[in-house]
Amino acid sequence: MNIDGVAAIVTGGASGLGGATARLLASLGAKVTIFDLNAEVGQRTAAEIGGLFLPVDVADEGGVSEALAAAAAAHGVARILVNCAGVAPAVRIVGKDGKPHSLDAYRRAIEVNLVGTFNMLAQFAACLIAAGTAGEEAGVIVNTASVAAYDGQIGQAAYASSKGGVVGLTLCAARDLAQHRIRVMTIAPGIFLTPMMASFPAEVQESLGRQVPHPSRLGD
């Protein structure tokens, strides 16, 4: 897919994997819109890459609809969507204090990581189909799962559940949207030292890094 001049949306694009993705797409000529809740960092990243920032909660149906319309008004209907927005609570099912995992925290991970991914995917695809894009390929959707979907670690019950859901969604979405010439795929990155990971205690970061076979460290 030649992305030079093509409109793209990156959720969670203010920083971390999403920020790196936004920068790469922009460097290849794409017109990038960042959807994120971190306005300060998101606006800075967008300015650096000559893109657009919009404050968006990916799990908010109305908010996503409005943001897609705003992005299209600025850059044209997007043909590339990369879903990177996510949260990663580090909570054991039963804590050292004997208390069970907060159901609100569990729901929040599912809401952002899985429901948010589906919300973005469905609304993006609907906009693309309505636009009637010509050519062999109308667009592409890249979701972000995680190695945790297959190899979840201690304290990742909510996160691994949500990312497993993204994996399960992928093939269904690809089959549903193939008739509209929209490709759907999911990547499952290993453990990266993103700003979200950096918020974990140092001992948690070190423990996760040691569990990577080779090299035994967090990804950059």
CA distance 31 to 7: 5
Closest CA to 79 of 132, 115, 37, 27: 132
Report the number of distinct structural domains present in the chain: 1
Q: Where are the alpha helices (DSSP H) in the chain?
A: 16-27, 39-49, 61-75, 103-109, 116-131, 148-151, 157-178, 195-198, 202-210
Say which amino acid occupies 60: D
Q: What is the CATH number of the domain that holds 147?
A: 3.40.50.720
Residue 130 included in any domain: yes
DSSP string, 132-173: T--SS--EEEEEE--THHHH--TTBHHHHHHHHHHHHHHHHH
Closest CA to 25 of 11, 38, 36, 39: 11
Q: What is the pLDDT along the chain (220 residues), one digit of tens a residue?
A: 789 999 999 999 999 899 999 999 999 999 999 999 999 999 999 999 999 999 999 999 999 999 999 999 999 999 999 999 999 888 999 999 999 999 999 999 999 999 999 999 999 999 999 998 877 899 999 999 999 999 888 899 999 999 999 999 999 999 999 999 999 999 998 877 777 677 777 877 787 778 777 788 888 7
Residue 209 included in any domain: no
Q: Which domain holds residue 169?
A: 7-189
CA distance 137 to 185: 14
State pTM to two decimals: 0.90
159 as an active site residue: the answer is: yes
pLDDT, tens digit, for every residue of 144-155?
999 999 988 889
Q: Which of 159, 163, 170, 177 is catalytic?
A: 159
> Taking all residues of the chain, what is their mean pLDDT, rounded to a whole number?
93
pLDDT, tens digit, for every residue of 37-80?
999 999 999 999 999 999 999 999 999 999 999 999 999 999 99
Residue 120 included in any domain: yes
